[in-house]
Amino acid sequence: MLKEVHLYQTKCFNPNRQEGMRLIFVENRYKTYFFEQVSKRLDNQHEIYWIVQNHAFAPKTGTVIKIPYPKEKNLTKNFVGNTSIGKVIESDRQVNYFKKNDKRYFKYYFEIIENIIDDVNPSYVFGEATAFHELLTIEVCKKREIKYLNPSSCRYPVGRFSFYLYDTLIPYKGSNEELPKAEGMKIINSIANRNVKPDYMKPVTIPIKKKAADKFKILKSHFKGEKFNTPPPFVKFSLERQKKKIIEMWQKIAVSDISNSSSAIVYALHMQPEANIDVWGRLHRNQLKTIKSIQTKLLNGQTLYVKPNPKSKYELTQELLEYIASQDNVEAIDINTPMTSIFKKIDLVVGVTGTIIMECILSDKPVITLVKTINNDAANCLFAKDFDELGEYFGFLAEGKFPHISDDEKLEFLNTINRTSYKGQVSDPFYSESSISSSNIAFMHTAFKDVIKDKY
């Protein structure tokens, strides 16, 4: 029971609440305030619970369950044989990037989250699939066949989002809305001509005072005990300094354009840490290893261009730089080179996940993914189950046999995304205050009501 693990609970009861189901939301820093606005709309019909890991971001509505920060006496057990915990550690950014060595806290949080889920017995759990406590919650929900839904942008069409199941890119339900042909083709052409960007790519300017307040809040929570999603300041500082040096070195070996003398295959390097690659693309999260495997399958006359994310973090490494510099058929692309300037010169894109894959599909550009998703329903988006199959697909490109996609098929693909998504913007209100506007929360309320209605 909850009392046995001494969790901190606060309750805000709504006297007008009708009989409904129990819903859990999982805290994720500022995204919590977005979820809180959604929960207020659902509060009249359902019991709302919160699992809070970072106490500084606890909401003020529903039943708030704060997991106490563990002390040494709580960290005496190991987790040998627990595959669920091991899987989460593989994706954990603290372990992978921020030099976290003591992993005993994973078992502590896992057992408490199990306890919470069993005690509340929710119909649905909502949250991201990024931080370790969210991923642990997902594993707990899987074991109990409780649906954990991650509302996230579907990229295109803009202004829409899907509920993704657990830690996958499999959409759950959707609005079933169809785009008329004229409207759909207009959207497709704007994407193909790169005249539109997904919501999350739109530039945001954060005032200096707001940035400073954020850093102070994060730092304060770290010193109060939140050391599991927040890296030590000196580690973060060291990594940022190292990142700056590596980017400078990258620029020295990088080319600003794609050569016309070779068949250009582009690997779009994922920013890390990021759920796109560390969670959804977990099997390929070692991007240096992936790039090496791609390079071994290149045919004569094919060159692999590695395109970094313009907001690159810790995926650029000394080892990656040295490898690219040593290969005649692998090139680094200048970090400041926009995809728009080279897109037409690209013959094929290889990716794990990401927006570029959808853009290729709707531009009839050959594209290969290393993770199978709804994108592979498109004729020109092939899934390579292994690198031998990837090499076979490179042969398709060389022989001019790579599949194409017609305008009707493009429209059907876009409508598949439209049908499995809902209108609304899912975002962190720290970066997008419009995400908690009354109009957007109304869209969210409609979507959330639809996705849980079958439980009645």
Query: What is the DSSP pairing of strand 263-268 with strand 348-351?
Result: parallel
Q: What is the pLDDT of residues 220-267, one digit of tens each?
A: 998 899 999 999 889 989 999 999 999 999 999 999 999 887 899 999
pLDDT given at position 456: 44
Q: Measured between alpha carbons, how far is 72 from 249 in angstroms, rounded to an integer?
A: 42
Domains of the chain: 2-180+422-455 (3.40.50), 233-415 (3.40.50.2000)
Q: Which amino acid is at 188?
A: I
What is the predicted pLDDT for the residue at 194?
A: 81
pLDDT of residue 82: 87
With a CB cutoff of 8 Å and minimum separation 6, the contacts of 267 are: 290, 291, 294, 304, 305, 306, 307, 349, 350, 351
Distance CA 134, CA 28 (A): 8
Which residues fall within 8 angstroms of residue 15, CB to CB, at 6 or more apart? Answer: none
**pLDDT < 50 stretches in the chain:** 1-6, 456
Look up the pTM and report it. Answer: 0.93
Give the sign of the dihedral formed by CA 211, CA 216, CA 222, CA 224. Answer: negative
- Around Cβ 224, how many Cβ atoms within 10 Å? 12
What's the CA gap between 65 and 10, in Å, rounded? 7
**Residue pLDDT, tens place only, 380-424:** 999 999 999 999 999 999 999 999 999 999 999 999 999 999 999
Give the per-residue pLDDT at 455: 60
Secondary structure class of 277 (helix, strand, coil): helix
Tokens of 72: 């040494």
* DSSP letters spanning 71-118: -GGG-----TT-HHHHHHHHH-HHHHHS-----THHHHHHHHHHHHHH
